[in-house]
Amino acid sequence: MKIDAEGWLDGVRRIVSPNQDARVEGMAIDMVVIHSISLPPGEFGGDGPIRLFTNTCDPAVHACFEELQHVRVSAHFFVRRDGEIIQFVPCLARAWHAGVSRWQGRERCNDFSIGIELEGGDAWPYEAAQYHALDGLLAALAEAYPIRHLLGHCHIAPERKTDPGPYFNWERYPATFQAGRDVSG
Catalytic machinery residues: 117
Maximum alpha-carbon separation in the chain: 51
Instruction: Report the C-alpha gap between 48 and 124 in whole angstroms.
Output: 18
Among the listed residues 88, 40, 18, the one whose alpha carbon sits nearest the alpha carbon of residue 48: 40
Kind of pairing, strands 31-37 and 113-119? parallel
